[in-house]
Amino acid sequence: MKTYKMVKSAFPDFIELIKTKGKLFGPVKQKSKYSFEEISDVKDLDFDYQRTVLGVKKFLTPPKYKTLTFNKEGTKDIIDEPETNIVIGVHPCDIHAVKILDRLFLGNIKDPYYASRRENLTIIGHSCLPDDKCLCQSTGTDMVEDGFDLFLTELDDYYLVWVGSDKGLALTIAASDLLSEDISDETIREYVRWQQKRSSMFKTVMPSFKYMADIITLNYDSEIWEQFGEKCLSCGTCSLVCPTCNCFNVDDKILMNAEEGFRERMLDSCTLPYYSMVAGDHDFRPDRTTRLKLYYTHKLKEYIGRWGQPGCVGCGRCVTYCPVDINVLTVSEALFGEVCETKEVCE
């Protein structure tokens, strides 16, 4: 992996350069929250954040879009050529989330809608410091070695610029007058000190997480699920903000002339009441408890069996935004406590 050094005074010029390569998005503060918004001025960027409301998923699986049109003559797919989007300021956990989505949508059966948007997306990561809701150290997603095009590690007076792809390499070639290959021993020592400092700042640790797939199996019929089910509002917030949730629904719309229509695809959530309903109004999961159990079993157990890792990247969004405190942390701790009298027993 090629690494460069860029002094901070060159950063505004770097931003102006990459804006010529596509539509630039980055973290912008909006009242008390952050979101990835289009950047017109480098002053709009605010890297001093822990999480945006939505992750990079919003650029890859939009909330709603048309997939085809149809009439009496047949159907026509709609795979628009998306704009070239560049997202800067993406944290390691969100890059890991994109890697999970890539495995799902670009695997044996490639999703053409996702593939088109992914091909036209450039990801520029950025280093971060954790707060008390960051769980990525426990999930092993606090650092990243691939899945990005460029990654910026911010140190005192400069950035380390890590190249992760051919697209990233092309950007560094274009910005060669802003970059230096002078990576001294002192630079390396400063980077190591920064990583050690960051690692020590994590306040929330889930020692149970590495056992979670087995613990869910052992607790599948536990009353804990009923307790969480009684609290759950079935609002779908957890799925909406989760950077790896990818459930969607498909709906056909017939126009007023009854001669033509279109098919629409929209994000959905397995925690919502109608998600498991099929023909004849039969619902496989009519109650909140079974839907909530499905959600966490899928995310913390089944993903491991399929992909070798959980569907949680520890971003802390569910911890931040669930209105009734049901999240990866509280569910894991409750299930862990069910099989361990004290945490030390299982550590």
Q: What is the pLDDT of residue 34?
A: 97
Same domain, 146 and 224: no
Q: What is the pLDDT of residue 338?
A: 60
Same domain, 23 and 128: yes
What is the per-residue pLDDT across 95-105, written as a single tens digit (0 to 9) for each? 999 999 999 99
Q: What is the pLDDT of residue 275?
A: 84
Instruction: Tell me the percentage of the chain whose pLDDT exceeds 90.
Output: 75
d(CA 57, CA 219): 31
Quick check: is 70 in a domain?
no
The last residue of one of the domains, among 174, 200, 226, is 200
Quick check: is 139 in a domain?
yes
Least confident of 27-36, 113-122, 129-138, 212-221: 212-221
User: Average pLDDT, whole number, for the chain?
Assistant: 91
Compute φ and ψ for 88, nearest 5 degrees: -110, 150
The answer on pLDDT for 346 being more than 60 is no
Same domain, 218 and 335: yes
Quick check: is 108 in a domain?
yes
Distances from the Cα of 162 to the Cα of 14, 56, 84, 92, 194, angstroms: 14, 19, 21, 13, 16
Same domain, 166 and 233: no
The answer on pLDDT for 88 being more than 80 is yes
Q: What is the pLDDT of residue 341?
A: 53
What is the per-residue pLDDT across 231-258, written as a single tens digit (0 to 9) for each? 999 999 999 999 999 999 999 999 888 8
Average pLDDT over residues 78-95: 92
Same domain, 183 and 238: no
The last residue of one of the domains, among 169, 200, 231, is 200
Angle at the Cα of 237 from the Cα atoms of 203 and 307, rounded to 5 degrees: 70
Quick check: is 109 in a domain?
yes
Same domain, 14 and 112: yes
The last residue of one of the domains, among 200, 226, 255, is 200
What is the per-residue pLDDT across 192-233, written as a single tens digit (0 to 9) for each? 999 999 999 999 888 777 788 888 888 889 999 999 999 999
The answer on pLDDT for 80 being more than 80 is no
What is the per-residue pLDDT across 28-43, written as a single tens digit (0 to 9) for each? 999 889 999 999 999 9
What is the tally of structural domains in the chain? 2
Quick check: is 270 in a domain?
no
Same domain, 230 and 110: no
Same domain, 56 and 164: yes
Angle at the Cα of 304 from the Cα atoms of 302 and 310, rounded to 5 degrees: 95
Same domain, 171 and 294: no
Domain that holds residue 234: 209-246+276-346
Same domain, 228 and 135: no
Same domain, 168 and 37: yes
Quick check: is 256 in a domain?
no
Higher pLDDT, 347 or 206: 206
Q: What is the pLDDT of residue 101?
A: 95
Higher pLDDT, 54 or 278: 54
Same domain, 136 and 50: yes
